[in-house]
């Protein structure tokens, strides 16, 4: 491989479980209603994995869709990266299970857990591996089985989350640079705002109320996002040498439509040029950004050469983004 190779997304595929959980279904489970959920979150329904479906199953099906939809081969993939905070096991990794299923004999494997920012980290690692000449072809998969850790007696969280997986192929190409800039930051002092316990029941010394179930301080996270994400986006734009008017599409983590609307208003960016995925799929953590891209591509909205600002935020507390040229 020579220095002329730049990383580029060359294919995308997705998998959404068959089962739909609508707001009307949730009305029978907790004290809530469709009007309240839509008004607060913009979510109408979400997909839920079957009892026997886990993150690895979702990942595998997303890769199958990638292969079928883009007519690509993956036998020569150099690295498989899975972004997830809901892996099947502590070990083996979801990436290893996916690599084994497709018998990608020369592929390394790793799982990355940065919650809702995870896909951006995965893209950045793929770009770095290609630029460092370690890899020429990287499979980045965001696979989240959030229903496995949702407390369906908690109306503040169970209305938000859904399951999904999206797979993208990133290749080294003798073309102009496609990944233009990245920016990441975290505030681990506030990590107890969004948690799901595992071996330990404490975060930052604070004991979690629920064992192995997700919990969050929704109002505090909302305020954190509105205060900090515009600053992070400004720093990302500064690194890229671009301004917001150069951006064709803003693709934020689809946590909550009302939060995204408030972000766009604060940045004076048109919501019509913002890609989201939560209306029919809910908050799918690291899968939400690539799912919004996949959805938009199916609606023929994204054109070659469009500049896209991807920005994730969530548990950690982590946030960060990338600017890519499609």
Catalytic amino acids?
116, 253, 283
**Separation between Cα atoms, residue 1 and residue 134, nearest integer Å:** 9
In terms of Cα–Cα distance, which of 68, 60, 153 is closest to 104?
A: 60
Nearest-5° Cα angle at 137, 136 to 139: 150
Contact 38, 135 (CB under 8 A): no
CB burial string 62-82: b at 16+ within 10 A, e below: bbebbbeeeeeebeebbbbbb
In terms of Cα–Cα distance, which of 146, 120, 139 is closest to 318?
A: 120
DSSP assignment letter at 243? -
In terms of Cα–Cα distance, which of 85, 145, 148 is closest to 114?
A: 85
**Separation between Cα atoms, residue 68 and residue 49, nearest integer Å:** 22
- Across the chain, how many H-helices and E-strands are there? 10, 15
Residue 315, SS3 per DSSP: helix
In terms of Cα–Cα distance, which of 224, 145, 134, 141 is closest to 185?
A: 224
* Backbone phi and psi for residue 29, each to the nearest 5 degrees, phi listed first: -105, -35
* Backbone phi and psi for residue 157, each to the nearest 5 degrees, phi listed first: -115, -35
Measured between alpha carbons, how far is residue 206 from residues 194, 197, 201, 210 in Å?
12, 11, 8, 12
């Amino acid at each position: 491989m020579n220095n002329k190779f730049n990383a580029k997304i060359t294919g995308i595929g997705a998998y959404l479980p068959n089962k739909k959980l609508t707001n009307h279904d949730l009305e029978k489970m907790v004290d809530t209603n469709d009007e309240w959920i839509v008004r607060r979150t913009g979510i109408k329904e979400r997909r839920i994995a079957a009892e026997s479906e886990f993150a690895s199953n979702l990942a595998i099906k997303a890769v199958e869709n990638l292969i079928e939809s883009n007519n690509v081969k993956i036998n020569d993939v150099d690295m498989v990266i899975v972004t997830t905070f809901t892996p099947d096991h502590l070990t083996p990794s979801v990436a290893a299970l996916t690599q084994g299923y497709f018998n990608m004999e020369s592929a390394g494997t790793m799982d990355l857990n940065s919650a809702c920012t995870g896909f951006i980290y995965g893209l950045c690692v793929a770009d770095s591996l290609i630029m460092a000449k370690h890899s020429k072809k990287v499979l980045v998969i965001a696979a989240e089985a959030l229903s496995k850790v949702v407390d369906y007696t908690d109306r503040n969280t169970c209305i938000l989350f859904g399951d999904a997986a999206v797979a993208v192929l990133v290749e080294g190409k003798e073309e102009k640079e496609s990944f233009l800039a990245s920016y990441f930051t975290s505030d681990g002092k506030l990590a107890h705002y969004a948690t799901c316990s595992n071996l330990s029941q404490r975060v930052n010394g604070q004991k979690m109320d629920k064992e192995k179930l997700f919990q969050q301080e929704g109002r505090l996270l909302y305020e954190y996002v509105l205060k900090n994400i515009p600053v992070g986006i400004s720093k990302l734009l500064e690194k890229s040498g671009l301004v917001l008017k150069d951006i064709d599409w803003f693709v934020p983590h689809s946590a909550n439509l009302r939060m995204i609307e408030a972000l766009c208003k604060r940045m004076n960016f048109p919501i019509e040029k913002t890609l989201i995925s939560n209306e029919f799929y809910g908050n799918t953590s690291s899968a939400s950004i690539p799912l919004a891209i996949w959805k938009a591509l199916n609606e023929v909205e994204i054109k070659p050469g469009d500049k896209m600002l991807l920005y994730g935020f969530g548990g950690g507390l982590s946030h960060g983004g990338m600017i890519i040229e499609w």
